[in-house]
Amino acid sequence: METKRFKNKRDFILITILVILVGAIYISFKLFMFTEDAAQAQVYYGTSTEPIVTIDFVNYRVIKNYIQNVPDGYDQNYPIIDEEAQTITLLGDYELNGIRQIVVIKYEFGTANSKPSVEIIQEQSPNNICSREGVSTGKPLICLPNRIRVEFDSSEVDFTV
Amino acid sequence: MKKIFFFPVLMMFIMLLSACTNKEEGSIFSAVFFQMDSEIRINYMANNQDQANEIKAHIGEVYAMYHSLSDNYAPLEEDSPYLENIYTLNSKINQDVEIDYELYMMLDESSRIKELTDGYFDISIGKIVKAWKDVILDPESRDDGYVIPQSVFEDLQDEIGLIEVQENPFTLSESSEKYYVRINHIDVQLDLGAIAKGYATEIVKDYLIENDVIYFAINAGSSTIAVGKNSNPERKNQQWNVELIDPLFDNEYFGLIELRDQAIATSGNNVQYATYNGLRYHHIVSPLTKYSMHYYHSLTMIGNDAGLLDALSTAFFSMSPETITSWLAIHQEELGIEVILYNYDGTITTHLLDTIFVGY
């Protein structure tokens, strides 16, 4: 009788934990799906469909998903994440005098008065189209021929044209 | 007692798992290509990795081929399997040049659309477009606020004044299964920039449909998009939600449309432009006037054929609102074409059939 009650108690704890867990997942899912501002922005390089860097606007952090594969002769490891200056630096594909040039992305976490945003603040390319785009709060920024893009995750919109 | 607890626990696990599994068979794969000065991104459903790889490889070949054939900046690679591309063709005036069937068909389609639009779509004005681009994209003047100096504008006027738009710029011919094109005048320079990407996208779309891929989206550089159905259960009508960029205000959007089994193409004056006398001059040049026109800031076309839409979005940019209205009166129903015009004065005009457009 004593053991049985003990087991029931353990079951009860287990179920409580599960209920809380499911509830927490459900609430965070809802929050993520229906937040008005973008919850994340993803930085992609080359033809990879895996983001190299994830900017998490909800939890105020920047996650390096993998190291950029660069040829010999480039000493630095990319991406470089500077949390103080709020920049992400990658090595683009565009070459000047045979040297590949960096692309610097500036990110801002949103505040009560401003939306989360990203901006390409430095890049080399024939027409500088992606740095001329300025600050974006939703539109993808595509840097060619550097082959770097920054894209917002939005639950309501699949494309912008 | 234990069994009473077992049931809800099991139920919760089933609920948890069912949230993760897709109701459709297969999974979504994605592929990225860099062709035609664009990033082309495709999401598609396939049954397994092998099928996904096969689809990706084929699509990559299609875009690579049309990129090579339509390239007007560089000749074909030495080991290229193709006969000619636009760059090499443009230097062969008044001679019959054998070309690949695929290029022949694209030129033929361009001629068809020229006729369909009463000359508003014209791939032969490459010389005029290049003269404009040289001024607008002058590396010394990259700021969007760039105002074209009067002397530069006048020189440009002189330059394009000397170039004649030809009524019959090129002739296509076929003999014993070989295909030829003949450029008929020195002022003709072919430029497929306003159709090639949409044309290739349409071929990719057809390939996906032929291979029973129902769920897909092709985003060819954000100016041309072709979609099937959306497998995301959040989308009640299996639609893809497309937000339309406001060409006048950064980070603003002026509306949302729902797309399913359709294509969309946009043209705008907000990407590459310079100002003269307070008006925006951009890379879309009217073949009728040799100047960029100032009727719209952007226009969005919805329909079935991505290639046709790509070309029409350029042609319509030079048409007055009245011309568009009378053109649509004849062709809209038959071609299933819908248009959203962002007028130069900031107002919006829609010519829609079934598409849901929510203006902001």
Cβ–Cβ of A158/B241 closer than 8 Å?
A: yes
Instruction: Mark yes or no for CB contact A11/B5 under 8 Å.
Output: yes
- Tens of pLDDT along A120-133? 999 998 888 888 88
Domain shared by A5 and A68, yes or no: no
- Same domain, yes or no: A28 and A49: no
Residue ranges covered by each domain of chain B: 126-163+239-360
Provide the domain limits for residue A125.
38-153
* Cβ neighbours of B244 in A, within 8 Å: 160-161
Tens of pLDDT, residues B3-39: 666 666 666 666 655 554 444 568 889 899 999 988 8
The pLDDT tens digits of the residues spanning B209-264 come to: 999 999 999 999 878 999 999 988 778 899 999 999 999 988 889 999 999 999 99
Q: How far apart are CA A47 and CA B360, in angstroms?
A: 34
Nearest CA in chain B to A158: B241
Residues A111 and A131 placed together within one structural domain of the fold? yes
Token reading at B77 = 């690679």
User: CA A144 to CA A141: how far, in whole Å?
Assistant: 10
Domain count, chain A: 2
Residues A98 and A74 in one domain: yes
Q: ipTM of the assembly?
A: 0.78
> For chain B, what percent of residues have pLDDT higher than 90?
77
- Do A47 and A117 belong to one domain? yes
With beta carbons less than 8 A apart as the criterion, state whether A110 and A56 touch.
no
**Do the bridges between strand B279-282 and strand B296-303 make them parallel or antiparallel, or are there none, so unpaired?**
unpaired
Residue at A160 is within a domain: no
CATH H-level superfamily of B126-163+239-360:
ApbE-like domains (3.10.520.10)
Provide, as residue numbers in chain B, all residues whose Cβ is less than 8 Å from the Cβ of A145: 34
Q: Is residue A158 part of a domain?
A: no
B134 touches chain A (CB under 8 A): no
Q: Strand, coil or helix: what is B231?
A: coil
Query: What's the mean pLDDT in A75-90?
Result: 92
| Together in a domain, A86 and A130 | yes
DSSP codes joined into one string, B69-128: HH-SSSPPPTT-S-S--HHHHTT-BSSEEEE-HHHHHHHHHHHHHHHHTTTSS-TTBHHH
Q: Which residues of A touch B266 (CB under 8 A)?
A: 161
Query: Same domain for A54 and A132?
Result: yes
Where residue A76 falls among pLDDT bands split at 50, 70, 90?
Answer: confident
Q: What are B130's two structure tokens? A: 């290049």
Asked if residue A129 belongs to a domain, the reply is yes
Is the same domain home to A28 and A43? Answer: no
Q: Output the six-digit token pair for B293.
A: 């026109």
Domain check: are A81 and A148 in the same one?
yes
Q: From residue B33, how far is each of B239, B263, B315, B332 by CA, in Å?
A: 24, 19, 27, 33
Instruction: Please count the CA atoms within 13 angstroms of the CA of B47 that sit on its side-chain side.
Output: 3
Please indicate, yes or no, if residue A47 is contained in any of the structural domains.
Answer: yes
Cβ atoms within 10 Å, residue B24 = 13
What is the DSSP secondary-structure string of A105-151? EEEE---SSS--EEEEEE---SS-HHHHT--BSSS-EEETTTTEEEE
In this structure, the answer to whether residues A30 and A97 fall within a common structural domain is no
Same domain, residue pair A137 and A66: yes
Nearest CA in chain A to B12: A22
Task: Examine the domain organization and report whether A29 and A56 are in the same domain.
Answer: no
Task: Give Dmax over CA atoms of chain A in angstroms.
Answer: 83
A116 CA: distance to closest CA in chain B (Å):
12
Interface A–B counts its CB contacts (< 8 A) at 96
HSE-up (13 A, CA, CB side) for residue B114? 21
Q: What region, left, alpha or beta, does residue B221 occupy, with left being phi > 0 and alpha being psi -120 to 50 degrees?
A: left
